[in-house]
Amino acid sequence: MAGAAEYDVVVVGAGSTGENVAGQAVAGGLSAVVVEAERVGGDCSYWACMPSKALLRSGSAARAARRAPGLEVHGPAVTDVLAHRDQIVSHYDDTSQVQWLDSAGIDLVRGHGRLTGEREVTVTTADGEEQVLRARHAVALCTGSAALVPPLPGLAESEPWTSRDATSAREVPGRLLVVGGGVVACEMAQAWNDLGAEVTVVARSELLSSMEDVAGRLVREALTEYGVDVRTGVDVSEVRSGPDGIQVHLGDGSVVATDRVLVATGRRPRTDDLGLETVGLEPGSWLDTDDTLRVLGADGPLPWLYAVGDLNHRALLTHQGKYQARAAGDVIVARATGATVQEQRWGAHAATADSVAVPQVVFTDPEVASVGLTSAAAAREGIEVRLVDYDLASVAGSVVHAQGYQGWARLVVDPQRQVLLGATFVGQDVAELLQSATIAVVGEVPLHRLWHAVPAYPTISEVWLRLLDGLGRDTALA
Ligand SMILES: Cc1cc2nc3c(=O)[nH]c(=O)nc-3n(C[C@H](O)[C@H](O)[C@H](O)COP(=O)(O)OP(=O)(O)OC[C@H]3O[C@@H](n4cnc5c(N)ncnc54)[C@H](O)[C@@H]3O)c2cc1C
Ligand SMILES: NC(=O)c1ccc[n+]([C@@H]2O[C@H](COP(=O)([O-])OP(=O)(O)OC[C@H]3O[C@@H](n4cnc5c(N)ncnc54)[C@H](O)[C@@H]3O)[C@@H](O)[C@H]2O)c1
């Protein structure tokens, strides 16, 4: 075993989150090392956001082109799309991300890190060597999440794809059965259907059930129109594999034959082999934190241990992990240097948006872009809200944008405070509308002031004017 190395901050996991925690700490004058077991850049770069969006892009662009008159469109061509995906994931080579760490002054130790006590991480390298890293100020756990494979009879024997396989596959399966109805299920059903697979989706509930109901319905209708067999409200009861392929038995008694099953039933934290037991925490659990991302133990926050990104289960999205990373990196510096800690709501060191304004885009066609509270979430929290909906197809900008444009928008309004609590847009190319809604929610922009944010004509964003019209001109009174 090599001698222990000491740093101000030890980060375990160099995904998008871990890189940013380390970067922020070093920018604040501390020394930092990151430990990475696979590739610097993590899931987002190689097996999640980037490859999935690369697989989806050509199909969406082809449909958008077909909705514009006078264009002849072929494809998408599978070989070109897969080559594009490979280029987007840098051919699974993390050299450029390692160069960024170098340029930022962050050390890298490759291997599997585990806590071996307070402020101590022991790394086991690929050749079995052990290296001890000690943190003067903080250890940040940023080990992310992995696909959760439910214990369904026969499922494991069918060698199912998880999201990693679905984003890195080199061949299109003839038939693909997707279990689950969340974001991974919808995006991957769209992508592999576009690439020529015969896709069936089996979902317990309506698609995208954590979003506004209309979003899931519109995505289901579109997927069905493109040829996907979408079965909602039904469970998988058993999977049987044989020489003629895979038979998936459903709770309603039907059987679907397929060549491949994709499991898209959620995530589990990558905390099972992280030495959590050495500091009194439960291996395999999600790590609860306070708003400054310190891990909550039995007696409150551990002063030196942070959990940032997917593994804290606050909001499993790359941009939220990066947002948390900035707060965590900065607060580690503030606590190390005795500077003022701003942990109040919306303070520099509190990840307040995680519970109030999480933006998300589902890159199906139609896209779904949402932020903040849905109507169902507001009801669950006992908040009385006012809803206003608008048919995006009736906006002049949409009519010009695509023939037969279909879409929908909703604002969730707090009638007492006259501010937005949430917004959802569904339709072609609505993703870029989302930041306007995020700013309105985070900024708690009063409705009377929103009337003065005039959307340019004829853009899709004129839906903002229509939604305000729906709320009534009296909301323009200050
Ligand atoms: C198919 C798919 C598509 C997605 N698309 C989007 C999207 O479009 N937009 C979006 O915002 N989010 C998307 N997400 C979610 C997003 O990928 C995650 O929220 C994000 O990658 C989490 O980042 P992280 O840094 O917390 O974890 P990760 O990126 O998983 O990084 C964790 C790192 O820690 C390393 N590690 C783990 N354990 C150890 C250990 N013991 N020692 C050393 N290293 C270790 C891992 O190798 C990994 O590199 C998608 C997810 C999936 C599955
Ligand atoms: N564009 C994006 O922002 C994007 C894309 C992909 C993934 N992600 C993130 O990655 C995370 C994982 O996505 P996901 O789709 O795997 O999870 P999810 O939690 O969004 O959806 C899981 C789905 O699986 C279903 N399910 C759970 N157990 C089941 C079982 N035993 N049998 C059948 N169905 C079951 C649930 O009802 C739900 O529909 C999410 O937090 C998501 O936000 C984001």
**CB half-sphere exposure, 475, CA atoms < 13 A:** 24
* b/e sequence 298-333, b meaning 16+ C-beta within 10 Å: eeebbebbbbbbbbbbbbbbbbbbbbbbbbbbbbbb
Task: Give residue 42 CA to ligand 1 midpoint distance, Å.
Answer: 5
Q: Is 271 in the pocket of ligand 1 (CB under 6 A)?
A: no
The CA 178 to ligand 2 mean position distance, Å, reads 11
Give residue 145 CA to ligand 2 midpoint distance, Å. 12
29-32: long-range pairs with CB below 8 Å, 24+: 29/333, 29/337, 30/137, 30/332, 30/333, 30/336, 31/7, 31/107, 32/7, 32/8, 32/106, 32/107
Whether the CB of 14 sits within 6 Å of ligand 1:
yes
| Both structure tokens of 331 | 């607060």
Atom of ligand 1 nearest to the CA of 19: 25
Q: Which of 207, 239, 265 lies at the terminal end of a domain, its last residue?
A: 265
Q: Which residues surround ligand 2 with Cβ inside 6 Å? A: 150, 179-185, 187, 203-205, 209, 235-236, 264-267, 316-317, 360-363
| pLDDT one digit per residue (tens) for the chain, 478 residues | 668 999 999 999 999 999 999 999 999 999 999 999 999 999 999 999 999 999 999 999 999 999 999 999 998 999 999 999 999 999 999 999 999 999 999 999 999 999 999 999 999 999 999 999 999 999 999 999 999 999 999 999 999 999 999 999 999 999 999 999 999 999 999 999 999 999 999 999 999 999 999 999 999 999 999 999 999 999 999 999 998 899 999 999 999 999 999 999 999 999 999 999 999 999 999 999 999 999 999 999 999 999 999 999 999 999 999 999 999 999 999 999 999 999 999 999 999 999 999 999 999 999 999 999 999 999 999 999 999 999 999 999 999 999 999 999 999 999 999 999 999 999 999 999 999 999 999 999 999 999 999 999 999 999 999 999 999 999 999 8
pLDDT value, residue 315:
98
Number of domains in the chain: 3
Q: Is 75 annotated as a binding residue?
A: no
Is residue 284 located within the same domain as residue 381? no
Ligand 1 neighbour 181 (Cβ under 6 A): no
Question: Is 57 within the bounds of a domain?
Answer: no
The residue segments making up the domain with residue 438 are 366-476
For residues 394 and 275, state if they share a domain: no
Best residue among 16, 163, 184, 364 to mutate for probing ligand 2, ranked by most atoms within 8 Å of CB: 184
Residue 360 falls inside a structural domain: no
Quick one: 242 and 168 in the same domain?
Answer: yes
99 & 238 share domain = no
DSSP H helical ranges for 124-212: 163-168, 183-194
ipTM: 0.98
Together in a domain, 30 and 164: no
397 annotated among ligand-binding-site residues: no
Are both 171 and 314 inside the same structural domain? no
Does the annotation list 454 as a binding residue? no
* Spatial separation of the C-alpha atoms in residues 192 and 198, rounded to whole Å: 8
Q: Which two tokens stand for residue 339?
A: 């500077």
Same domain as 274, residue 259: no
Are 301 and 423 found together in one domain?
no
State the CB neighbour count (10 A cutoff) for residue 123.
24
Q: Is residue 301 assigned to a domain?
A: yes
- Known binding residue 227? Answer is no
Give whole-number Cα distances, 386 to 377, 420, 474, in Å: 13, 10, 14
Nearest CA to 131 out of 112, 157, 153 is that of 112
Q: Please identify, among 237, 265, 293, the residue that sits at the C-terminal boundary of a domain.
A: 265
What is the rounded end-to-end Cα distance, in angstroms, of the chain? 69
Residue 19 lies in a domain: yes
Nearest atom, ligand 2, residue 181 CA: 39
Nearest-ligand number for the alpha carbon of 186? 2
Same domain, 139 and 279: yes
Residue 20 CB less than 6 A away from ligand 1? no
Q: Please work out whether the CB of residue 23 comes within 6 Å of at least one atom of ligand 1.
A: no
Among 43, 46, 50, residue whose Cα is nearest residue 15: 43
Identify the pLDDT of residue 2: 62
Are residues 121 and 225 part of one domain?
no
Q: Which of residues 231, 265, 299 is at a domain's end? A: 265
181 known member of a binding site: yes
Q: Tell me, yes or no, whether 34 and 180 share the same domain.
A: no
Q: Is 186 annotated as a binding residue?
A: yes
